[in-house]
Chain A
Amino acid sequence: MTLKIAVCVKYVPDATGDRGFADDLTVDRDDVDGLLSELDEYAVEQALRISEEADDAEVTVVTVGPDDAKDALRKALSMGADKAVHVNDEDIHGSDVIGTSAILAKALEKTGFDLIVCGMASTDGTMGVLPALLAERLNLPQATLLSEVSVEDGTVKGRRDGDAASEQLEAPLPAVVSVTDQSGEARYPSFKGIMAAKKKPVEELDLDDLGIDADEVGLAGSWTLVESADARPARTQGTIVTDEGEGGKQLAAFLSAQKFI
């Protein structure tokens, strides 16, 4: 039996660019280049490793996003995923996380899966909750924030390093997992991988295909409302001194003036 692995990947504005908001208070996607969220590269990597360990496996990458989000899918395909699903519809613009999770859950049901792999958080919204919402919607166990993951005999196992303790987790498939950037370095696409990716199938879906009404998602269907988004004044550079033997003492004087010591 083929082990079907679905990987959720997000297309995000480059964090090293000047990220900001458009007039409707959604993320400005025109002025900054986008890319596959770096934290989702770890999800793709772990999916590929699990598939390499299995007798027979297939890795499908799934994204919800605008036209350019195809770039994120291509990157994942060039790393080695087998096929891709792109949910793209004008009406998705401005969806909050509840809406996004509804769309992804429907797309995943349509695609089919034994295991869903997500990143720990996107690098733009950084909520880190989408995997939990998928588990809730699809009624699956969640084994999330894993720094180590493996699949054996229909069971997913992993280590979750929390604040207070490190936990060893186990769940029967089907299940949702998310992996951290501690799970293992993501591979670089090879030239061969990049060429092969061009021929791999990318299935396009819109809201109709998923049986979702336009008013359930997008800005209108969101259950949260952004009231304002303001650029913080850049921190003004303070005093900079060059150490000529007294740097520690000068710093002590500053900390003392600020009442820290």
Chain B
Amino acid sequence: MAEILVLVDHADGAVRKPALELLTLARRIGEPSAVVLGAGEAAASLAAKAAEYGAATVYVADGPEFDEQLVVPKVDALTQIAKDKGVAAVLVTSSGEGKEVAARVALRLGSGLITDAVELEAGANGPVATQSVFAASYQVKSAVSHGVPVITVKPNSAAPETAPAAGAVENVSVAFTGNAARVVSRTPRVSTGRPELTESAIVVSGGRGVGAAEGFAVVEKLADSLGAAVGASRAAVDAGWYPHSNQVGQTGKQVSPQLYVAAGISGAIQHRAGMQTSKTIVAVNKDAEAPIFDLVDYGVVGDLFEVLPQLTDEIGAR
């Protein structure tokens, strides 16, 4: 069967959920193999996890280059493996870095590139990807017509399914090409203990209507009662009320959860671009005319400082 190469995104020694989604999607178009780069000691357990989700082979490469240089070492490794093994497609998670890695790999392989796929299926001439574009107002289906398809897939595009496979580990020694920007220092993000924004099944976001940094407490309390991630509009982020890493929208995170709750957010096109593919959308806003209400499955016209705490109490009482 056609070998589909999946770059396994990992953090703190664990496979990130979007990589499991990629392995699941890869099975629709061939036989997945996984690539684990720069994981050090954790490589063996990451390989085992990849095998649990269907990787027949796991290519493992390590070296300080993966930590010390930006993007290029991963491009070197992925290109080398794709060429040596003659794979039929390369799948990477649609993160800032993932897309850049994929792009350079595509160019080196002489391949077309599709980014931000939300769905993947087998077609007559290779995989067909669905993209959700123009702030999710259009669905586009595309295929790669030249070379080995290189496709990046957005988190939350498929539910990970286990499918135990051999997971034979093959160590790879990469010829690094250099000419990369140097990572001088790295400050890890402090975990809040809440789910990752792009991976969470529920997201509760606050906007300018929250009024102040302290106001986010009602948003966080509701999020915690639902086991949700917290998001913010750019207006709230620009005001310094919440970190930029939590921004939802065109220039923030693109989320596609089962449930999205927008509190005190008007629904500007740039915000919608980041959340419009959510399955169920709920909004609480004082202004009955706010454009966000055009999108909602359920909307409450009201003060978020009244509605959110009451909702949180109701959830607590159940």
Give the CA-CA distance A143 to B261 in the complex, in Å.
35
| Interchain CB contact under 8 A, A238 and B299 | yes
Across the interface, do B245 and A161 meet the contact criterion of CB distance under 8 Å? yes
Number of chain A interface residues as a range? 35 or more
A251 B311 Cβ-Cβ under 8 A: yes
Q: Does A51 touch B at the CB level, under 8 Å?
A: no
Report whether A166 and B189 are in contact in the complex, using a CB–CB cutoff of 8 Å: yes
> A150 in the interface, Cβ–Cβ < 8 Å?
no
**Interchain nearest-CB distance for A236 vs B (Å):** 9
Which residues of B are found within 8 Å of A182, using beta-carbon distances?
A: 244
Cα A181 to Cα B234 with chains together (Å): 10
Residue B26 lies at the interface, judged by CB distance under 8 Å to chain A: no
Q: Does B310 contact A (CB under 8 A)?
A: yes
* Other-chain contact of B300, A175, A180, A231, A250 (Cβ < 8 Å): A250
Interface size class on chain B is 35 or more
Given contacts A98-B106, A169-B70, contact A141 B251 (CB under 8 A): no
Q: Give a binary string over B72-97; 1 marks a CB under 8 Å from any A CB, 0 the rest.
A: 10010000000000000000000111
Contact A133 B104, beta carbon cutoff 8 Å: yes
Which of B115, B139, B244 is A229 in contact with, Cβ under 8 Å? B139
From A147, A169, A251, A252, contact of B181 by CB (8 A) = A169
14 further interface pairs, Cβ-Cβ under 8 Å (given A229-B141, A248-B312) = A16-B269, A97-B113, A136-B103, A139-B179, A141-B181, A144-B70, A144-B71, A166-B186, A167-B70, A170-B181, A224-B143, A227-B142, A255-B259, A260-B259
B-side residues, CB < 8 A to A, are 11, 70-72, 75, 95-97, 99-100, 102-104, 106-108, 111-116, 128, 132-147, 179-189, 196, 198, 202, 226, 244-245, 250-251, 258-259, 269-270, 273, 276, 280-282, 284, 288, 293-303, 306-315, 318
17 A–B contacts, CB within 8 A, in A order = A19-B137, A20-B134, A123-B250, A127-B113, A133-B103, A162-B96, A164-B11, A224-B142, A228-B140, A228-B141, A234-B137, A238-B296, A240-B299, A241-B301, A242-B300, A252-B310, A260-B258
